[in-house]
Structure formats: structure tokens, C-alpha cells
Structure 1
């Protein structure tokens, strides 16, 4: 349990600090940063797989055309999510990224209801309605839809749905997801170099070094999350996940001085209230669960 909590906090703390990392490359375009992230992630994960001698496991993990297609969809969704996030951070929209990842668990449950025919408690429906009210309020107040927050929440929710259907280990999954788009990313970087429009040459040496560590910054939190997931109940992992958008929100307001108006406060209050209700409802145990488990245990002993 202690190890699981340590891994979960490390993962979500690292994800919460990512805006600080991507801000270091603000002079670069989001597409160029994304391309570097993909290429360096492929290289780092390849080293991990080589060291652990798991190439055979990786190639054998794709068992058919449907899984291949699902992995390709995962790759496109996570790439889109990364691009939107990087663009938002470097265009002073960190607060919207925070809002998006606060909303993500609610979108994930909604997709489970729509596509997996999962059932929701009354409290979870109330949480979804409250979250919708928060989004609608900020939309009507500012006259524009918070598309960054919604795009991040939707792409990551669909990514989670696709990952659930694929069911692969974290590192193996990341290897496939980055491998699918690596040729495109590498081709884009070569095109920039050929046209003389690449901006990496304008970075200081330490920035180049940190950019090369983008693979580490991508893979390690994912590994920590995977380690936490096998050690902790899902309810605890779900609660700790709010650490990441909270750090991002505090970073946006107090470090980068993004405006936090009364409208933002009301909108976030709706989302926070929705998450409290959602978490409490999700953690509620069904009264029939314990007897069923006991009956199964008795049958196994018999």
C-alpha cells in the first residue's frame, strides 16, 4: 500500500509539473515539440525493452487486425492530446488544461455508459450534470466554448476507452503508440531541417539536453502509474489523480499569473463539487458485494 501510494503520488506530481517542463521550450512550435517528444520517447522505450529483453513480448502482443487498429487509434488519440496540451501550456492556457483533466474522469465514466453499457449511480449522474453546468456557465459568461479543456478531456477519455479494449502493459503500449507515429514525427523534423525552419538550433545546450529527456519525462510517470495501479484499489488511484490538475491550476494562477476570475471560481466550484459527489458515489460499496465474495471464498475452500 505504501509503495503504491508513493508511485501514484510520484506519477501525478510529475504530470502536474509538466507545464513547467514544456514552458522551457516556448520558443518552439507545438508541432515541433510534439515531434521531438515522440522520437525521444520511442528511443527511450526501445532502450528499456532492449535492457529487459522484451522484444518478443512486444511483437507477440499484437494478436490480430482489430488490436492493430485499436493501437493505431490509441496512438492518434494520445498524440492529439499531447499536441493540444503542449500548445495550451505555451499559449498561457494552463488553467484550461487543469479544467480538462478535472473533467476527464467524468467523461471516462460517460463513455463507459455509452460504449461498454456500464451502469451509473444516481450520484454519478448528478456529478455529470454539475460538471456540465460548470462548462456551460463559463461558456455563456465568456461567449466561447472552453475547447482546450473539452478537447483534452474527450481525447484522453477515448484514449482510456481504447486502452481498456487493448489491455497491454504500460511500456509495451507506449512503445506501440509512439512507434505508429514516429515515422511522421521524424519526417516532420527532417522537413523542418531541410527548409531551415527548425527552431531547436536556437535553444541553449541545457534546453537541448532537457528536450532529449522528453522520452524519460513521458515514460517514467506512466511506469509509476502502472506500478501504483497494481498495488492500490482503483478508488485510491482515482482520488490521487486530482493532484495533477490541482498542481497545474496553482501553477497557472500563482506562477504564470493567469487570471482567475469569479467566473472561473464558479465554474471550477461546479467541477470540484461534481468530483466530490462522483468520488463518494464511486467509493460506495454495494451491500451484496461482501456476501458474494464470502460465498466464492467458501466454494474455493470446498
Structure 2
């Protein structure tokens, strides 16, 4: 019992650190305000490849990458997920640079509920009445936001769609989280390397330049993008094995909550009435969904009396 409790606590600490990493991501990318979003994503992908390969080596899991890439269906799945994650990262960094952190955080609040809906549509997963109600409340919140914040609503919806679609592809693909991210960044490595070469040799349009080498702090932040990508993923993947799914589900909302607070209190983004109503409805829907999931899981764990 004590060993189980200790393991659970370690998992909780790992998950909290990962969520704090993700929640404070806007601060990291704000420090790279002088660098184009596409260039940031390029460096994030390129430097992640060697770091992830090292992690797989020390976890004695390099062989799983080769096995995965030998599977034709899995290669296509990784190609799809790599495009989705690259698009998600690009829009997110651009949104942070353009002072739309609230819109970005809303996207990650919506995505778990959208994932539930996708699971019902594409995988035939059952939905309780309370989960349908949670989705309806969330849709109402988005509708309210559409009235006054239509110009930034697309950011939230595209981030939610890309992340939920990514989660769907990764759910059906038989590959581990770290191995999968290594495969995805590996697929994207060559095109983004060619893009940086294009920038370096001045073939890009006027005003687009390669920033690596211009400033020591910028260099560290560009290369460090690999660390802020890989480390929280490894921690969260480890935490998932030590904690209940209901606890992990609740922690998924910590990162966008931190992002929301960062946008309002650190960068002073405007909080309109429609934002407030939308976020309240989203939080209500998440609370309803999480409570229903917790109770369903608790009931499933109860011993059956014959």
C-alpha cells in the first residue's frame, strides 16, 4: 500500500512539473518575440531529434523506433500526426507573439471535449448523458465568444481541432509517446532543415533571416526549445503509468489554466465579458465531464457482487 502511495505521489509530482512547463510556455516564446514563429518551430523540431534519440538510447528503446518505421500503416499515421503537431505548434507560437494567449488557452480547454466527441464519431466510444451535456455547454460558451471575439475565435478552434485530431491519430497508432514524437520530428527534420538553410543563405523573402548565431540568449532559447518539448512529455508519459486516468484527466486542465493566468496577469491581455462567460461555461462543462468520468471509473473499480 505504501509503495503504491509513494509511486502515485511521484507520478503526481512528474505530472505537475510537466503541466507547469506547458503552462509557462507563453513566457518562453515571448522571449523569442524577435524570431519568426516558423523559424522557432523549425529549431524546436530540429534540436528535438538528437535529444529524443539520446533519451530513447538511455531508455534502451531505440529498436522500437526502427520497428515502428518499418510498419507502412504506422509510417502514414506518423506522417499525419507530424503535420498536425507542426501546424499546432506554429499557430500556438504565432498566437503568443500576437498577444492572443487567451485564445490559445481556450483552444486547449476545448480540445479534451472535442476529443471526446471525435472518439464517439470515429471510434464509436459511448457517451453518457452528462458528457453530451458537457459538450453542449462548451459549444454554448464558444457561441458566446463568437459574438464579440470572432477575429480570434479561429485561433482557439484551429488549435483545438489540430490537437484533438493529433490525439486521435496517436490513439489509434500503436506507438509510445516518446518513440512517436521522435518519429514525428524525424519526419519533419529534413524539410525544416532545408527551410533554415534557405534562410541562412538569403534565399528567403526580404526581412526573413536566420537568427541562430546573432545573440547568445536567442541561441540558447532556440536550441532549448528541444528541452521544453521533450522533458515535459517524458515526465507526463511516466506519470500516466503511475496515476489513475481520472487524476490525469483533471491535470490536463492545469496547463491551459496557467496559460490563461499568464495572459491576463503577466501580459495584460484584455478580458472581455464574452471571454469571461465563455471560460466560465467551459470550466463548468469540464467539471461536469471530469466528475462523470471519475464516478464512472469509481463504479467500474467497485467489486461486483453476484
Q: Which TM-score bucket, shorter chain as reference?
A: over 0.9
- Pairwise CA distance, 1:173: 0.9
* Counterpart residue number, 1:260: 271
Which shows bigger deviation, 248-257 or 277-286?
277-286
TM-aligned CA distance change 1:136 to 1:58, over 3 Å:
same
Mapped partners of 2:223, 2:191: distance in 1? 18
Instruction: Give TM-score, length-normalised by structure 1.
Output: 0.92
- Pairwise CA distance, 1:51: 3.8
Task: Provide Cα deviations, 1:225-267, integer angstroms capped at 9, x if missing partner.
Answer: 1011101111000111111011101110011000001111111
* Counterpart residue number, 2:105: 98
TM-aligned CA distance change 1:257 to 1:288, over 3 Å:
closer
- Pairwise CA distance, 1:194: 1.0
Contact 2:99–2:269 (8 Å) recurs in 1:
yes
Unaligned runs of 5+ in 2: 1-7
* Counterpart residue number, 1:149: 156
Mapped partners of 2:126, 2:234: distance in 1? 30
SS in structure 2 of the partner of residue 26 of structure 1: coil
SS in structure 2 of the partner of residue 200 of structure 1: coil
Q: How does 1:157-236 map to 2 (within 5 A)?
A: 157-195=164-202, 197-201=208-212, 203-236=214-247
Q: Does 2:251 correspond to 1:240?
A: yes
Q: Does 2:43 correspond to 1:31?
A: no
Instruction: Give TM-score, length-normalised by structure 2.
Output: 0.91
Q: Does 2:302 correspond to 1:290?
A: yes
Aligned partner (choices 5, 8, 12) of residue 12 of structure 2: 5
* Counterpart residue number, 1:58: 65
- Pairwise CA distance, 1:43: 1.8
TM-aligned CA distance change 1:288 to 1:29, over 3 Å:
closer
Mapped partners of 1:143, 1:201: distance in 2? 36
TM-aligned CA distance change 1:123 to 1:55, over 3 Å:
same
TM-aligned CA distance change 1:145 to 1:32, over 3 Å:
closer
- Pairwise CA distance, 1:31: 0.7
- Pairwise CA distance, 1:144: 4.0
- Pairwise CA distance, 1:291: 4.3
Mapped partners of 2:104, 2:231: distance in 1? 21
* Counterpart residue number, 1:40: 47
Unaligned runs of 5+ in 1: 296-302
SS in structure 1 of the partner of residue 44 of structure 2: helix
Mapped partners of 1:119, 1:69: distance in 2? 27
How large is the Cα RMSD of the aligned pairs?
Answer: 1.8
- Pairwise CA distance, 1:65: 1.5
Structure 1 moving runs of 4+ over 4 Å? 286-289
* Counterpart residue number, 1:73: 80
SS in structure 1 of the partner of residue 107 of structure 2: helix
Mapped partners of 2:89, 2:212: distance in 1? 23
Mapped partners of 1:270, 1:40: distance in 2? 39
Contact 2:69–2:183 (8 Å) recurs in 1:
no
- Pairwise CA distance, 1:36: 0.6
Q: Does 2:140 correspond to 1:133?
A: yes
Task: Provide Cα deviations, 1:171-209, integer angstroms capped at 9, x if missing partner.
Answer: 211110101111011000000011164241585212211
